[in-house]
Amino acid sequence: MSAKSENLMKAFWELVVVWVIGLVIAEWLVHVGIDHWPLIGSVQAQITADATTYLVWQAVAIYVLVGGTIVYSAFRFRARDNDNTPPTYQKRYWAPFVVFWLGMSIAINLANTIYPGMVGLEQLWAIQLNAKHPLVVDVTAQQWKWTFSYPKQGITDVSQLVVPVGRTVEFVLRTKDVMHDFWVPAWGIKKDVIPNEIRHLYITPTVLGSTKTNPMIRVQCSLICGNGHPMMRAPVQVLTKAAFKTWVSNNSF
């Protein structure tokens, strides 16, 4: 390959073809993957899953564009064996590329901070602020079990979490010993439980079910807390409002 015949514009158009093919394949795979997304069991989970899936679309696109360029360059600009002559293209700078890159990276960043970042946060906070009469559940974490109390319903120290569907629940999180983390994977949000502090987490379950029907609906400690950490789970039941009432009357005293 003589240096003069190096047509970089032609190389670029070939790269565009690589990009298009790569984007079509990769984003189709993303589409299939998102169709198989695990259970989204609360309003909050919808918000966090929307953020995640949006970022997956974007990340895969960037991966194809940048990674595709790396792979393409490695093939296209590969030296033939024993060819030690340097290329004639020795430019150190090409302003359009740099300016475009700079502009794009700043734009994507700003965009991401606004959506899904701030928009998602505002949505989460709005639920919290608008929850006029949340169901209050006191959650006590300790090594290595969860206990739940419903102060207004007069239910104390049960070892399974039962909540009604469609009502915002305010979890009041306390720990007796070390740090833990309250997480129900299907509800799509988690919060650390810190010694000497009280934390609040608002969740609005939207899907009926229980740990038996879907293991994503379980309370799971998500912050290392010692030997029993992996087994620090509790069963969860999401009931209809009527069934929840029955459960309350059966369990309160």
Closest CA to 251 of 149, 182, 167: 149
In the set 43, 51, 141, 155, which binds other proteins (CB under 8 A)? 51
Query: Is there a cis peptide before residue 19, judged by omega within 30 degrees of 0?
Result: no
Cα Rg, the chain, nearest whole Å: 26
In the set 22, 43, 48, 163, which binds other proteins (CB under 8 A)? 48
Give 130's Cβ-side CA count (13 Å radius): 9
CB-nearer residue toward other proteins: 178 or 243: 178
Kindly write out the interface string for residues 184-213 of this chain, putting x where it contacts other proteins by CB under 8 A and - elsewhere.
Answer: -xx-xxxxx-xxxx----------------
Segment 91 to 150, residues that bind other proteins, using CB under 8 A: 91-94, 97-98, 101-102, 105-106, 108-109, 112-113, 116-118, 120-121, 123-125
The number of residues making up the chain comes to: 253
Euclidean distance between CA atoms 143 and 175, whole angstroms: 9
CB-nearer residue toward other proteins: 105 or 130: 105
Residue 141 Cβ vs other proteins, minimum distance, rounded to whole Å = 12
Q: How many residues bind other proteins (CB under 8 A)?
A: 87
Helix (H) or strand (E) holding 74: helix 68-76
Residue 156 Cβ vs other proteins, minimum distance, rounded to whole Å = 23
Segment 11 to 40, residues that bind other proteins, using CB under 8 A: 11, 37-38
DSSP state of 226: S
Residue 230 within binding range of other proteins, rule CB under 8 A: yes
Residue 154 within binding range of other proteins, rule CB under 8 A: no
Residue 228, token pair as written in the block: 């029993």
DSSP state of 203: E
Considering only the stretches 21-29, 41-49, 145-153, 239-247, report the one whose residues sit in contact with other proteins under the rule CB under 8 A.
41-49
Residue 147 Cβ vs other proteins, minimum distance, rounded to whole Å = 19
In the set 45, 135, 162, 248, which binds other proteins (CB under 8 A)? 45
Give the pairing of strands 209-210 and 233-239.
Answer: antiparallel
Residue 2 Cβ vs other proteins, minimum distance, rounded to whole Å = 12
Residue ranges of alpha helices (H) inside 88-203 are 95-112, 119-130
Euclidean distance between CA atoms 59 and 71, whole angstroms: 17
Segment 158 to 177, residues that bind other proteins, using CB under 8 A: 177
Euclidean distance between CA atoms 236 and 212, whole angstroms: 9
Residue 178 within binding range of other proteins, rule CB under 8 A: yes
